[in-house]
Amino acid sequence: MRQPEHTTVPAKTAALPGSDRPRPASPELERAVISAMLREPEPCVDVAVSILGRDAEAFYVQQHRDIFSAILDISDSSDRKVDLVAVAHQLQQRGKGDEIDAVYLGDLYATVATTANIETWCRSLHDLHMLRRMISVCTESLLQCYDTSARPAALIEKIETSVYNIRNTGAKSDYVPLKECLGPQFDHLLKVARGELEVGIPTGYSQLDDYTGGLKPGEMFVLAARPSIGKTALALNIIRNIVLPSRTPHPRRVVFFSLEMTTDQITRRLLCTEAKVPAEIFQRRTFMPADLARLKAAMETLAPAKLYIDPTPGLSVAEMRAKARRMYLTKDEDGNPMIDVIVIDYLQLMHADVGNDGRQNEVAAISGGLKSLAKELNIPVLVLAQLNRDIDKNASPDALPKLSHLRESGAIEQDADVVAFLHRKRDEAKDLPPDQSVEAKLIVEKNRNGKTGIVPLFFFPARTEFTAASPYTAADEPPARQ
């Protein structure tokens, strides 16, 4: 039999005007958070604890407090996993089994269909918990102010301390003494100098890596361009250089969130680029036996790649962060995270839950969320972005993009550690033979931890591939078709 939810908590203060009003709470949100923790303990339990702390008072309904505490007990144990049976048993051990039966736990489990919004739900519960605590503190403070024997200065200090404690509910101390950082950083720099450690993940474009040090952990790298310039192509080229054992001695694992292209389109591009054959020859049925042989060889080369493609359109920043966290917490057979790099194509196709605050604030929330994710997981996040139309209005066809051309928000410029603009003359690529290229530039316009400059590239439109302009080797040349 389903137990009724409690909707009141014993009052800790005397009655005051308005104190009989219901405290801010949302049993529906609480049910959603508990449901997510039961359905996907990893990573939902960690997400809930990181936001709500371990204080069951974050939940208003007593039953939910008991279940939350039981889940934490189980997750703290090394030999048990969170599931309905384990939670029911733990509640029995706590003497709560009669109040919360298996039927009620089953109802909770079925409350939500997806856990993607667990972070948003937890932050809302955290806010409601803070409001309830503020009501208690302010009510108690009002009563104390009627005590004429109280010393005002001491009372103010007490009230300020109480409010400060609420403000820092669940906050973790992140202060680290400098002397504790010096030794590890000295060892890190020494290993880099000896070549024992990479500064960042090499992109396969050595001149770009000279500027940026590669894709560095915890940094957000923004690659921006006008439409149809080739930012997706360059991103896929970089991914190919990172994930293929044939191109790097240390292949990485990449998750590619493609909000614009389908999985089939991305796979087709990778195949044709690796095979160095134009996709149009298959559409027009003008391919030769050698083209098929190269395509088969490309398939064998790409097969070992640890590339995971998520083509979900209209992804929110909260959903994307939840997915990325889940993949990061999933370990391989060696105990390493499932992903080393996150790539997003592209930022302006995402959305954030900011109400009606305007598109600029929404893009700012997305940009800030992606930067926070890079720091939280300590892995690089490569974000593609669209430029606004101002550059097209410029009278000079050679006009180079600037930071002010980033579309919809200056927050992208502020949050990014590196901003690089891909630039070329779009018309030069029209009706170009498959084995010919056009000049392109990758302009490193912002680099928080290094120098800026221009990386010259060649772009082969037929096979959507960017190659280094200098030094130029025979490996960069397209094979002759037979």
What's 476's DSSP letter?
G
Query: Cα separations (Å) of 247 from 6, 123, 253, 274, 304?
Result: 61, 43, 14, 11, 12
E-strand ranges in 142-285 read 220-225, 254-258
Contact 450, 212 (CB under 8 A): yes
333 carries an active-site annotation: no
> The tokens 């940009």 sit on which residue?
367
Q: Which residues pair with 308 in a beta bridge?
A: 255
For residue 250, the tally of other CB atoms under 10 A from its CB is: 10
Q: Which of 30, 160, 219, 260 is catalytic?
A: 260
d(CA 481, CA 146): 92
**Strands ordered across the beta sheet of 381-386:** 307-310, 254-258, 341-345, 381-386, 220-225, 418-423, 438-447, 453-460, 465-468
Q: Write the DSSP string, 425-466.
A: -GGGGTT--TT--EEEEEEEEEETTS--EEEEEEEEGGGTEE
Contact 456, 441 (CB under 8 A): yes
Beta-carbon contacts of 78 under 8 Å, excluding residues fewer than 6 positions away, are none
The total number of residues written for the chain in this structure: 482
Contact 215, 341 (CB under 8 A): yes
Buried residues in 117-136 as b, exposed as e (16+ CB within 10 A) = bbbbbbebbbebbbebbebb
Contact 225, 233 (CB under 8 A): no
Which positions are annotated as active-site residues?
A: 260
